[in-house]
Structure 1
Amino acid sequence: MNEDFLRVEAHDCPMSACAAPAGSPCRTGRGRVAAQYHTARFRLVPALAKALNVAVPALRRPGSVWVELPRPPAADAGSASGVRLGYARASTLRQSLDTQLAALAEAGVSRVFSEKVSTRALRRPELERAVALAGELRASGVAVTLVAHEHKRLGRGIELAALAEQLRAADIGLEFLTGELAGSHDPTGIVFTVLAAMSGSEREYIRDRTLEGHETARANGTAIGGAAVTDPAMLSMALHLREQGQSLRAIAAQLVITKGAKKGQHPSPATVMRMLRDHDDRTQHS
């Protein structure tokens, strides 16, 4: 779904013939929901300032009798209204999102991002989209709050702490409907402060334990790192492609891992960089 309408509806319509409040679509002189937002309104959004028109989405039922929708709650003194974006997540495909979605709808969120992805997943595309939209809205001067059913839906431990740091840096509020951290949390509040501190301490702990493990492994003559994915043939091809002036990303896309659990996949640009760097170091000291 296109989120442009949320950006537009974060503002009151300045057209005297419309004067739709924040949270509601524009209306025609005959009291119907307009098919497009009025130019004076969508041009309040920097990203849409040069657009020719911005359509009112089907969920607002253009052409139907105009009814004022609930105005987003004010979140700070610097904005006349705020936007509440919801996020729901289930860990498996079998789990239902119904409870979370119902709670978010009752909490009055403007838009819900939902997905079914494991807690162990490295990426959560819908959460990334929610945070990106929240950042864009906040940058345009609109107060924004990210709402989740409970904090575990956003992540655990250092993962949640890292997200809280990202939200605090963008001045985005956070709200949990249930659980240990239930309530609204301002970016300058104690919850953000605690999560940020936890993030820093956990990073330091992980770093120290990793370095200790490396030192112990070296002392015992054990190689550090996972199974190698490079081989002489891959190195030879990479050197040839580098001589042609190709980038690390382009080189990686043309190489194929021939052994191990990643057999058949392309190595990462970072792997190619390390392989070439190690080769250069050996050549320099030989």
Structure 2
Amino acid sequence: MGHIRLGYARACTARQSLDAQLDSLAEAGVTRVFSEKVSTRATRRPELDKVVHLARELRASGARVTLVVHEHKRLGRAIDLAALAEDLKASDVGLEFLTGELRGSHDPSGVVFTVPAALSGMEREYIRDRTLEGQESARRRGKTIGGAGVADDHMVSMAVHLREQEMSLRDIAARLVITTGTKKGRHPSPVTVMRMLREHDEHANASPAPAAPTPGAGRP
């Protein structure tokens, strides 16, 4: 049946565009693409499940199959990529990345997912995406994140990352530097870090507030 290349594209929030990924896949000659906008934190990605299932079926029918993705980060966290690699390897399906640290075509038997730099980069991207998702939720609800206005996206991302390394609030505060406002160049206090992390967690886990009813809605 020849060589079949199936594409997959993903954005982590509804506001992010898939255009760059879709254009990249089209330029690479991939005509069958599965795409979705699903949070990095989601445990299920329906379109990814579909394309992997189809790849298995096509491979079982005798075709040579490759799953093509713009960049490895689109597949989620490092643990997600490792699990997918094992799944594809068991099904004898190849994997190709069009850009990034793992750019190139990888044979199903190839071991390419132990590259430390690539995997650590995926974790940083995961932290960044999770932070952006929480902040987008906060904006929809009319709130801001930030411990007295000293936090920015990078500071929140770094604080979350350091917390996951089981560092204390005092040690996290010592690693962070305020980049804006009257306190620029100083370290935030442990109390500010605690509040910043608490607000991040609340916003990341909160559901969007229901839309207010339109005045006069439902009136004859």
Q: What is the TM-score with the length of structure 2 in the denominator?
A: 0.51
| SS of residue in 1 equivalent to 2:112 | helix
Paired residue for 2:217? none
Structure richer in helix, relative to its length: 2
| SS of residue in 2 equivalent to 1:191 | coil
Paired residue for 1:165? 86
Paired residue for 1:128? 49
**Structure 1 contact 138–144 (Cα < 8 Å) conserved:** yes
2:57 counterpart letter in structure 1: E
Tell me the CA shift for residue 101 of structure 1: 0.2
* 4+ residue segments displaced more than 4 Å: none
**Structure 1 contact 92–117 (Cα < 8 Å) conserved:** yes
Pick from 79, 91, 105: which aligns with 2:12?
91
Paired residue for 1:182? 103
2:53 counterpart letter in structure 1: A
Count, aligned residues: 116
| SS of residue in 2 equivalent to 1:83 | strand
Tell me the CA shift for residue 190 of structure 1: 2.6
Tell me the CA shift for residue 104 of structure 1: 0.2
Is 1:113 matched up with 2:34?
yes
Tell me the CA shift for residue 155 of structure 1: 1.7
Aligned-partner Cα distance in 2 for 1:99–1:86: 13
1:102 counterpart letter in structure 2: D
1:161 counterpart letter in structure 2: A
Tell me the CA shift for residue 157 of structure 1: 1.4
2:63 counterpart letter in structure 1: V
Paired residue for 1:16? none
| SS of residue in 2 equivalent to 1:94 | coil
| SS of residue in 2 equivalent to 1:144 | strand
Aligned-partner Cα distance in 2 for 1:177–1:168: 19
Paired residue for 2:72? 151
Tell me the CA shift for residue 135 of structure 1: 0.3
Q: Which has the higher contact order (CA 8 A, sep 6+)?
A: 2
**Structure 1 contact 83–110 (Cα < 8 Å) conserved:** no
CA shift digits 1:126-145 (9 cap, x unpaired): 00000000000000010000
Aligned-partner Cα distance in 2 for 1:115–1:94: 12
Paired residue for 1:191? 112
Q: Which runs of 5 or more residues in structure 2 are unaligned?
A: 120-220
Paired residue for 1:140? 61
Q: Which runs of 5 or more residues in structure 1 are unaligned?
A: 1-10, 12-80, 199-286
Paired residue for 1:260? none
Aligned-partner Cα distance in 1 for 2:52–2:98: 18
Pick from 103, 112, 118: which aligns with 2:24?
103
Tell me the CA shift for residue 110 of structure 1: 3.1
| Structure with greater Cα Rg | 1
Aligned-partner Cα distance in 1 for 2:111–2:45: 26
Aligned-partner Cα distance in 2 for 1:179–1:169: 24
Q: What is the TM-score with the length of structure 1 in the denominator?
A: 0.39
Aligned-partner Cα distance in 1 for 2:35–2:23: 12
CA shift digits 1:141-167 (9 cap, x unpaired): 100000000001012211110010000
Where does 1:1-286 land on structure 2 (aligned, <5 Å)? 11=1, 81-191=2-112, 194=114
Aligned-partner Cα distance in 1 for 2:56–2:111: 21
1:187 counterpart letter in structure 2: P
